[in-house]
Structure 1
Amino acid sequence: MPNESSQTPCIENLTYDEIRIGDSASLSHTLKPQDIQLYAIMSGDVDPAHVDPEYAGSSMFREVIAHGMWGGSLISTVLGTRLPGPGAIYVDQSLHFLRPVAIGDTITATLTCVKKIDRNKHLVLDCLCVNQDGHEVIRGSAEVKAPEEKIKRPRLSLPEITISDRKIRYTRLIGTAKNLAPIPMSVAHPCDAESLKGALMARDEGLILPVLVGPEARIRGVAEQLQLSLHDCRILDTPHSHASAELAVQLARNGEVEAMMKGSLHTDELMSAVVDKVHGLRTARRISHLFLMDVPTYPRPLMITDAAINVEPTLECKADIVQNAIDLAHVLGIAEPKVALLAAVETVNPKMRATLEAAALCKMADRGQISGGLLDGPLAFDNAVSLVAARTKGIHSAVAGQADILVVPDIESGNMLAKQLEYLANALSAGVVLGARVPIVLTSRADTAETRSASCAIAVVMAHARRKQLQASSS
């Protein structure tokens, strides 16, 4: 609805005696997507013409349009706040809807007094809503009982509203792999509902060709129970989770799949097979984990590393963790990611190892030992993500307040940070392992199928980037 904050600090009515025939009042508002969403939430009207872009694109209007009564609510706003204002009581309303209102249209609602009825202090008002081109959108009339006493009240500030649309954010994460061919992916031990659903959801999104590695009877039993189709899935039977992890890794090592995905087994079971010195997927780089998070209250994707694999990384390990994250940021199209090295404070304290290592990592970046990103630290969490906090503390930095990557001191702080964002800030996350021969989708066993599918999208982008690197090196 219209923003009143820039107007007078008080709201004042016009009494019946003050109003004259011909008096009018107006307000304008530009329709935004969140206006439609809010109206749908408030009213329960989820007509696809208003909330489903795919359907709306094939309708007679060829685009999403506002609910008709959204425009009618502008008329109500004028009545309640301007003419007559507080104390007015709706009696009757007649509206004719002449033209649809689309996102971006600016609607001006004008009410004009055309009749006064002395016996009951009623007003009849002509109602007209026009768009930015002057075309009539709504025309009608309203009858109200006008206030007889003067009312003047402070204009109250309305609370801010944030709409968290997980479907849109999920679609955005999936969109990172748009137009890329699906890749073969081994799924280690998908023997519970969410891990199997995640793999099949990624299949249905056109992201992966699943190779399900685990006890075949259990996998088929879960699929049958949930009424899930296993079409386009290859199933390799194993007796238990350890064997599932070993075979899933073997497929990646042999080049039969281009990525892996954790199923319902424990992380240490899978990673033991991954880091095996003889049969695993090690490279010269330290293996690390990264959460890519879409946080509703943060203006860009946020990467958190390492929150799942390296328990208490050394300085040498952290250098690889940082480089792994920077390399992924490049793959995702971030040319020079801003890397915040987190600690409890933003100054170097000899008694706090995290601050010393943050400072050392920054100097390593200055000397070219870490490349491709812009590093700063130590930074406390608030300084890393809030420009206001950074300026308040006098921190002048190209990273502070606008970090792309948060490097945590240890697995405990990282795990708590990631899960706090997911469960308290409604963040949507994707989890991947970096630094191995192939990308590995690694999420919590409590994560949803949606989170697993979104993680597959990141793995697909990484796999295609790896293809290009291999082609370039062989040519």
Structure 2
Amino acid sequence: MIRENKLYDELNVGDTAQVKRVCTANDLYVFAHASGNLNPLHMPDPDDDQTEAVAPSMWVGALISSVLGNVLPGPGTLYRSQSLRFLDRAHVGDELTVSVTVKEKLPDSIVAMETVVTGRGGETVAEGVAEVLAPERKVSVDMEDLPEIVVQRHQHFDEYIRACEGLDPLVTAVVAPEEKESLGGALLAAEHGLIRPILIGSETLIRQAAKEAGENLGPYEIIDIPDHVAAAGKAVELVHEGQAGALMKGHLHTSDLLREILKSKGGLRTSRRMSHAFVMDVPGLDHPLIISDAAINISPDLTTKVDITQSAIDVARALGIETPKVGVLSAVETVNPQIPSTLDAAALSKMSDRGQIKGGVVDGPLAMDNAMDAEAAKTKGVTGLVAGHAEVLIVPNLEAGNMLAKELAFVAGAEAAGIALGASCPVILTSRADGEKARLASCAIAVLYRYWQEHGQPIGVRLAEAAE
């Protein structure tokens, strides 16, 4: 949007302008960083649904400068003074109307402006008088030419954890939680009511890890099996017996756990190939991003990719994405017989069209840019429902997926939760590098996926029906 200012001689008493602005949580985070004001009253708390964060009064006052500097008098305006009285409070979600009116033209290009900010129901939040120095020359400014700010927070994971409130904890067999990180993740999820852990492994090492972490194991069942393979076998047995509804990897090799899960006799095999899905909470992205498979299938063939894609769609639906948009990645967006992943991508896309893959919209091959960025897709002439809007990314092989997920985590500030799919129960795979939020989110995703399996609909539908 191009804005042109008004010079002193062009201004008249009574000239007025206003802008509207919705107060968001991000506004308060950015203001806290810029001002250094970390008053907890002004910091949104994702775990507190009852208390509204109060917008700092000086943030409200700063909105006046947006009208003065952008609209009236506009670009080139300089403040001389501003008086303010704060009569009410603004909160996250409030739409504020900021108005300025020329009150008096003073000598030396100085203009007195009445300033008012109104909020909910038209109540006055702030009022005062500004004295400004009017612009000295005509200026036109493109108001959209401004670098973007990405606030690094993980609201999607917060939503998943909140969505599990009121559900019974998922009984989870935790295999070899024998050092403080893996044990701590399980107990943290238990404290949040997400899981009820059964701890299987060396009782000596589990208790030693608890002592190091300062944890109390009193409420939790421990099954003493020092051998990791045998411990994994016991966890699988508990699922068969109906005593556990999920598995969680502790301090053992993933291959040892998977070997017991995938046994042809006594394992947890289903008709679907087992695969892994990273659920990424990427700052600045308005939806979760699911990447599969980056942990189990090294170099999947087309048949395996069908199962990988279907499982990724299922977990997306369990998280409330009604019809997931799935981009099948390659290096290019056209089919090239010299690049096998483009052939697989094209086949998966057509299989989705024919109903062989259900519940989502699948398109490929897509390069990363035109899968995620609408402008890049438009520039390259790539059309369709998925191009520029992918919510699920199917990668060519484990190496590509693992690098993509870790680049998002360690370069773009994303949090990554992980779940293995295709067994008869969800399998929670966490890494020692995971933070608390990622560990909690992995457990929450398992709970939500299990709920979706049992009820045929995501938890969000139940919550919406209850609200009605």
State TM-score, norm by structure 2. 0.84
Q: CA deviation at 1:56?
A: 8.6
Q: From 339, 351, 369, give the equivalent of 2:338.
A: 351
The equivalent residue for 1:304 is: 291
**Deviations 1:300-340 (CA, angstroms, capped at 9, x unpaired):** 22221111001111222122222222333343344433322
Where do 1:216-295 residues align within 5 Å? 216-295=203-282
**One-letter code of the match for 1:64?**
A
The equivalent residue for 1:378 is: 365
Aligned partners of 1:195 and 1:452 also within 8 Å:
no
Task: Give the SS at the match of 2:303.
Answer: helix
Aligned partners of 1:331 and 1:462 also within 8 Å:
yes
The equivalent residue for 1:202 is: 189
Q: CA deviation at 1:86?
A: 4.5
The equivalent residue for 1:411 is: 398
**One-letter code of the match for 1:443?**
T
Mapped pair 1:150 → 2:136: yes
Aligned partners of 1:25 and 1:83 also within 8 Å:
no
Q: CA deviation at 1:83?
A: 5.6
Query: Which whole-Å CA distance do the structure 2 matches of 1:53 and 1:429 have between them?
Result: 21
More deviation, 381-390/74-83: 74-83
The equivalent residue for 2:147 is: 159
Q: From 23, 46, 58, give the equivalent of 1:32.
A: 23
Q: From 90, 94, 98, give the equivalent of 2:87.
A: 98
**Deviations 1:228-268 (CA, angstroms, capped at 9, x unpaired):** 33353212223243343333233223322110111122222
Q: 1:74 to 1:388 in 2, by over 3 A?
A: closer
Q: CA deviation at 1:158?
A: 2.9
Aligned partners of 2:17 and 2:100 also within 8 Å:
yes
**One-letter code of the match for 1:180?**
L
Indicate the structure (1 or 2) with the bigger Cα radius of gyration: 1
Q: 1:22 to 1:398 in 2, by over 3 A?
A: closer
Task: Give the SS at the match of 2:407.
Answer: helix
Aligned partners of 2:64 and 2:98 also within 8 Å:
no
Query: Which whole-Å CA distance do the structure 2 matches of 1:350 and 1:20 have between them?
Result: 67
The equivalent residue for 1:138 is: 126
Query: Which whole-Å CA distance do the structure 2 matches of 1:109 and 1:372 have between them?
Result: 49
Query: Which whole-Å CA distance do the structure 2 matches of 1:207 and 1:355 have between them?
Result: 40
Aligned partners of 1:347 and 1:378 also within 8 Å:
yes
* Structure 2: tracts of 5 or more residues without a match: 457-468
Q: CA deviation at 1:372?
A: 3.1
Query: Which whole-Å CA distance do the structure 1 matches of 2:321 and 2:178 have between them?
Result: 36
Q: 1:117 to 1:424 in 2, by over 3 A?
A: same
Q: 1:327 to 1:53 in 2, by over 3 A?
A: closer
**Deviations 1:187-213 (CA, angstroms, capped at 9, x unpaired):** 112233332222122112211101112
Query: Which whole-Å CA distance do the structure 2 matches of 1:143 and 1:467 have between them?
Result: 65
Query: Which whole-Å CA distance do the structure 2 matches of 1:296 and 1:339 have between them?
Result: 20
Aligned partners of 2:345 and 2:365 also within 8 Å:
yes
Query: Which whole-Å CA distance do the structure 2 matches of 1:131 and 1:448 have between them?
Result: 39
More deviation, 392-401/402-411: 392-401
**One-letter code of the match for 2:27?**
D
Q: CA deviation at 1:137?
A: 2.4
**One-letter code of the match for 1:108?**
V
Task: Give the SS at the match of 2:3.
Answer: coil
Q: How many residues align?
A: 451
* Structure 1: tracts of 5 or more residues without a match: 470-475
The equivalent residue for 2:417 is: 430
Query: Which whole-Å CA distance do the structure 2 matches of 1:342 and 1:399 have between them?
Result: 12
Query: Which whole-Å CA distance do the structure 2 matches of 1:78 and 1:321 have between them?
Result: 52
**One-letter code of the match for 1:200?**
L
Aligned partners of 2:46 and 2:158 also within 8 Å:
no
More deviation, 195-204/134-143: 134-143
Task: Give the SS at the match of 1:7.
Answer: strand
State TM-score, norm by structure 1. 0.83
Q: 1:202 to 1:24 in 2, by over 3 A?
A: same
Query: Which whole-Å CA distance do the structure 1 matches of 2:2 and 2:227 have between them?
Result: 65
